[in-house]
Amino acid sequence: MSTVSKQVDGRGRTSSRREITYGLIFLGAGLLIFGLFARGGAPEQKTAFVLNPAGESQAIPVSDVVVPSLTALYVLALTCVFFGGWQLARGFRRVNLALGAVAALFVLAFLIWAARGKSLNLTGLLSSALLRSVPIALAGLSGVLCERCAVINIAIEGMMLTGAFAATLMGSVAANVWEWPKWAALPVGLVSALASGALLGLLLAVLAVRFKIDQIIAGTAINILSVGITSFLSSRIMAEFEYLNRPGTFTPFSIPLLANIPIIGPVFFEQNVLVYTLFILLVVIHVMLLYTRWGLRTRAVGEHPRAADTLGIDVFKNRYVNVTLGGMVGALGGAFLILGSVGRFDELMTAGKGFIGLAAMIFGNWMPFGAFGAALIFGFADALQTKLAILKVPIPSQFMLMAPYLVTMVVLAGVVGEAIPPAADGQPYEKQ
């Protein structure tokens, strides 16, 4: 290996160019905090972080946190500079954790600067970030299920959009035409969304597994199909019959005891049933993928399908099942946008969340909890632009709307080189 890409220090440890780049990034973050946020600040300004939710909550009340803005920004800037110096001089054993810490410090500095002389409801911001991350996390889980068996699912966006439309239409029919009660009508919409996702997942599996069509092209075709069908039907049906675009939403409810925990309780345990479903899916998929025979076979099919076939594993059946399940999970993300959030369908309302979910999957290294953690980052960026508009931060609103997509590009540019997909990802299998 060339001396340009690798250098050996006096202690015999190897310092790569990437590690040096991390050190410079840490230093740059500290200098940006000083130059953009701390410089020109007034010493008397303070920032208040409200830790109690705005509405009614079962959480135990806690006092607000008030910090002197300028002092806190100086401390955060110096901490990032220290991280950068340490990385350049000695190097962190787990540099990714250091990167996450510096990113968190930078975001905290930004919040302190944005809310200087004002107050920011931190609990409300985190709750909003969680809700906005749910569809992205479900899209990421859909990608994990598919790509772990070596099928690239570009069609998640279309699955989400179709799931949202099916949930709206059938939920509205059950509630407003059949006049079923809410507790019966909403599950009809949810089951309809899952059925539509299963059909699109099966279609992708047939195209990719049976006919061995290029998986990127097949997924793109399904996306175009979903956009065309949902846009046409919504303009012909929902625009004319408004009562078919009012399915209702699931009511949030609290989990006893857990909802009493300050900050964490209102954020995680005062949500609707679809958010709790995400938490359950995270645990179930993680356990099944890593600790069950199905998960072992799925990973074997994704890494070396010929060896798996030699051992008697039905590669085609495994991919059919996984991609169909992935379609259902993706459609569940679309159903959340309707039944767990806005309560009505609009054309192209997914707004790229399926593709952001794929970025979260890559950032999370094709693991369920990794994808969820990445989705929280994207959800936080999305929620932050709304809060900053309320605080009247002197940043153009267009840049705030770009925040989630900018984070997506930064993540892919910085992480995709390190993330290692399943070895057979995207490759059709020919049985011999």
Element (H, E) at 388: helix 368-391
> Per mean pLDDT, which range of 206-220, 226-240, 382-396 is the poorest?
382-396
Is pLDDT of 299 > 70?
yes
Please compute the mean of the pLDDT values over residues 349-362 and round it to a whole number.
Answer: 92
Answer whether 140's CB lies under 8 Å from 372's CB. Answer: yes
Helices (H), 115-181: 122-147, 156-172
Angle between helices 95-114 and 368-391 (to 10 degrees): 20
Please compute the mean of the pLDDT values over residues 363-368 and round it to a whole number.
Answer: 90
According to the model, what pLDDT value does residue 392 have?
76
Q: Provide, rounded to the nearest whole percent, the portion of the chain with pLDDT above 90.
A: 69
Residue 397 is encoded by which pair of tokens? 């609103």
According to the model, what pLDDT value does residue 292 have?
96
Is pLDDT of 401 > 60?
yes
Backbone angles phi, psi at 246, to 5 degrees: -135, 70
According to the model, what pLDDT value does residue 77 have?
95
According to the model, what pLDDT value does residue 10 have?
41
Please compute the mean of the pLDDT values over residues 28-53 and round it to a whole number.
Answer: 89
Is pLDDT of 4 > 80?
no
Of 296, 276, 300, 277, which is closest to residue 287 (Cα–Cα)? 296
Question: What distance lies between CA 32 and its chain's CA centroid?
Answer: 27
According to the model, what pLDDT value does residue 281 have?
97
Please compute the mean of the pLDDT values over residues 374-391 and round it to a whole number.
Answer: 84
Q: What is the spatial order of strands in the sheet that 119-121 belongs to?
A: 65-68, 46-50, 119-121
Classify strands 6-8 and 65-68 as parallel, antiparallel or unpaired.
unpaired
Is pLDDT of 111 > 60?
yes
**DSSP character for 395?**
S
Answer whether 131's CB lies under 8 Å from 76's CB. Answer: no
Is pLDDT of 98 > 70?
yes
Amino acid residing at 183: W
Is pLDDT of 355 > 90?
yes
Please compute the mean of the pLDDT values over residues 345-360 and round it to a whole number.
Answer: 92
According to the model, what pLDDT value does residue 381 have?
83
Classify strands 14-16 and 253-254 as parallel, antiparallel or unpaired.
unpaired
Most confident of 94-108, 323-337, 400-414: 323-337
Of 131, 152, 121, 300, which is closest to residue 214 (Cα–Cα)? 152
Task: Please spell the DSSP secondary structure of 81-120, one letter per residue.
Answer: HHHHHHHHHT--TTHHHHHHHHHHHHHHHHHHHHTTTSEE
Element (H, E) at 16: strand 14-16
Mean pLDDT, rounded, of the chain: 89
Higher pLDDT: 118 or 244? It is 244
Of 188, 189, 186, which is closest to residue 251 (Cα–Cα)? 186
Higher pLDDT: 57 or 395? It is 57
- pLDDT band at 418; cut points 50, 70, 90: low
Higher pLDDT: 410 or 338? It is 338
59-91 pLDDT per residue, tens: 889 999 999 999 999 999 999 999 999 999 888
- pLDDT band at 133; cut points 50, 70, 90: very high
Answer whether 333's CB lies under 8 Å from 142's CB. Answer: yes
Sign of the dihedral through C-alpha 182, 183, 184, 188: positive
According to the model, what pLDDT value does residue 58 have?
85
> Per mean pLDDT, which range of 189-198, 275-284, 405-414 is the poorest?
405-414
Residue 246 is encoded by which pair of tokens? 């009012």
Answer whether 19's CB lies under 8 Å from 99's CB. Answer: no
Angle between helices 315-337 and 156-172 (to 10 degrees): 60
170-219 pLDDT per residue, tens: 999 999 999 999 999 999 999 999 999 999 999 999 999 999 999 999 99
- CB neighbour class for 352 (10 Å; exposed up to 12, middle 13-18, buried from 19): middle
Amino acid residing at 417: G
- pLDDT band at 5; cut points 50, 70, 90: very low
CA distance 19 to 49: 34
Is pLDDT of 416 > 60?
no
According to the model, what pLDDT value does residue 13 have?
42
Residue entry with tokens 């019966």: 184
Please compute the mean of the pLDDT values over residues 136-157 and round it to a whole number.
Answer: 96
CA distance 204 to 153: 8
Residue entry with tokens 């950032």: 363
User: Which residues neighbour 90 within 8 Å (Cβ) at sequence distance 6 or greater?
Assistant: none
Amino acid residing at 332: L
According to the model, what pLDDT value does residue 100 have?
81
Please compute the mean of the pLDDT values over residues 413-425 and round it to a whole number.
Answer: 72
Longest dimension (CA), the chain: 77
Please compute the mean of the pLDDT values over residues 342-355 and round it to a whole number.
Answer: 93
User: Which residues neighbour 149 within 8 Å (Cβ) at sequence distance 6 or greater?
Assistant: 298, 301, 302, 318, 319, 322, 323, 422
Amino acid residing at 255: I
